[in-house]
Amino acid sequence: MRNIRIFDISERQKVFDILNSRNEGDLSEIERTVSAILSDIKKIGDASLFEYTKKYDGFDIDENNIEVSAYEIDEAFELVSDDLVEIIKKSAENIRAFHEKQKRKTWIDTDGGIELGQLFNPIERCGVYVPGGKAAYPSSVLMNVVPAKVAGVPEIIMATPPSKEGKINPLILVSARIAGANRIFKMGGAQAIGALAYGTNSVPSVYKITGPGNAYVAAAKKQVFGKVGIDMIAGPSEILVIDDGSADLKFIAADVLSQAEHDELSSCIAVVPTMERAECLSEEILAQANILPKKDIAMKSLTDYGMIVVAKDVKSAIEFANEVAPEHLELCIKSPKEYLSMIKNAGAVFLGAFSPEPLGDYYAGPNHVLPTNGTARFSSPLNVDDFIKKTSVIGYEKDELEKCYKDIKRFAKEEGLDAHAKSISIRFEKGNE
């Protein structure tokens, strides 16, 4: 790869065509495989769950070893250095403090004989899926479990795939205890989502499932939605960096690559003010990519979905960003707060050259589970409300209902719902006053 594609902002349709092409793969085989797995879990339960775990994870699991023991968690703390445990604790505390500000209380307003309000109750049992395999993502544990804990969820069930030896990465276990997960099960993939959704003899069913995963996990979450709630169908990582010419190009290149190394389908876009700067940035990105351990993944991402867009001013760049609705939006510009009110569609906004995306991934406190594939146009980061149910409260005294019952009766009649109308009017018929 010699360089990254460069477009003028007037060619924005080419950019959108490239972004949209990420979703053009045929997922029908994955959907069929997942459907069969979920059906087996629902009908057969444990035996099917154990069989799929043996098949896909290589571990011979049963009812006696599927759940992580307290001893295994204690052992994990012995394997993780004290300084790293402290870093995880600091990160968890930042996440907890941020999400505490999102909490809302039950409210009821009283006006004469009318009472209206909302009850806020936590979901009683939630499932959190944490990817495993070759990499460990303790940050995913914190970002899913901590908000659920802040919301007051009484029982948080975590699922993560085991190694062939039946082990869970110690960082995952340490993070789970610090965050407050109640139970942890050694299971991954679509079979884990099925077990959480339908329940088995060994695994309790939950009411909502959150957490990232591969295409099979995403398809499983999509298929069990309705039986349980889900957070979102997360796609590949995305970043859009806006540069006004004031930031160090090395910073911008590094930030672009922070997402390119995630996945070959990651989308990485930088918006710069001149063609000359675009060409310099392209060279810097490639120079840094060449020395990455995950060079092949980053290069594939940059080749297929990496782009540099030339926009003459910050306003035009932000208008373009609102159209893209990226997962991560960095404003590597002077006085970024002056432009914050212009941002309409983004999962998270990072202000200034010293607020790089990984700050949000690991430490600052806002959630890193963010809408992707343009869904920031209508959805939000994972938050405390995702673990809360809202129940409306309606209370009318007789005198208040009498003032409006004829209007309600008329409304119901217009909709052809006579029993609705009768339910209102019967209270004021002769003999029932």
Render each residue's pLDDT in the chain as its tens digit; 433 residues: 557 999 999 999 999 999 988 876 678 899 999 999 999 999 999 999 999 999 999 999 999 999 999 999 999 999 999 999 999 999 999 999 999 999 999 999 999 999 999 999 999 999 999 998 666 899 999 999 999 999 999 999 999 999 999 999 999 999 999 999 999 999 999 999 999 999 999 999 999 999 999 889 999 999 999 999 999 988 889 999 999 999 999 999 999 999 999 889 999 999 999 999 999 999 999 999 999 999 999 999 999 999 999 999 999 999 999 999 999 999 999 999 999 999 999 999 999 999 999 999 999 999 999 999 999 999 999 999 999 999 999 999 999 999 999 999 999 999 999 999 999 999 998 766 6
Is 284 among the residues known to form the active site? no
The whole-number pLDDT of residue 234 equals 83
Q: How many Cβ atoms sit within 10 Å of the Cβ of residue 117?
A: 15
Dihedrals φ, ψ of 85, to 5°?
Answer: -60, -40
Burial of 201 (0-12, 13-18, 19+ CB in 10 A): exposed
- Distance CA(394)–CA(400), nearest Å, equals 12
Query: At CA 402, angle to CA 397 and CA 406, rounded to 5?
Result: 140
CA atoms within 13 A on the CB side of 380: 7
Q: How many Cβ atoms sit within 10 Å of the Cβ of residue 121?
A: 12
User: Are the C-beta atoms of residues 144 and 367 closer than 8 Å to each other?
Assistant: no
For the domain made up of 45-230, give the CATH fold.
Answer: Rossmann fold (3.40.50)
Domain boundaries, the chain: 5-25+235-372, 45-230, 397-428
User: Are the C-beta atoms of residues 387 and 379 closer than 8 Å to each other?
Assistant: no
- Distance CA(5)–CA(18), nearest Å, equals 11
Dihedrals φ, ψ of 210, to 5°?
Answer: -125, 165
Dihedrals φ, ψ of 357, to 5°?
Answer: -55, -40
DSSP string, 203-250: S---SEEE----HHHHHHHHHHBTTBEES----S-EEEEEE-S-S-HH
For the domain made up of 5-25+235-372, give the CATH fold.
Answer: Rossmann fold (3.40.50)
Report how far Cα 35 is from the mean position of its chain's Cα atoms. 23
The whole-number pLDDT of residue 132 equals 83
pTM of the prediction? 0.93
Strand partners, 229: 208
Output the six-digit token pair for 231. Answer: 């957070």
- Distance CA(305)–CA(203), nearest Å, equals 40
Intrachain domains 5-25+235-372 and 45-230 with the same fold: yes
Distances in Å between the Cα of 278 and the Cα atoms of 77, 129, 255, 274 are: 47, 40, 15, 6
Strands of 125-129's sheet in order across: 183-186, 155-160, 125-129, 208-210, 229-230
Is 328 among the residues known to form the active site? yes
Residue tagged active-site, from 99, 328, 357, 368: 328
Residue tagged active-site, from 238, 261, 284, 327: 327
The whole-number pLDDT of residue 235 equals 84
Of 107, 10, 2, 5, the closest CA to residue 320 belongs to 10
- Distance CA(329)–CA(331), nearest Å, equals 7
Output the six-digit token pair for 51. Answer: 């069989």
Dihedrals φ, ψ of 275, to 5°?
Answer: -65, -40
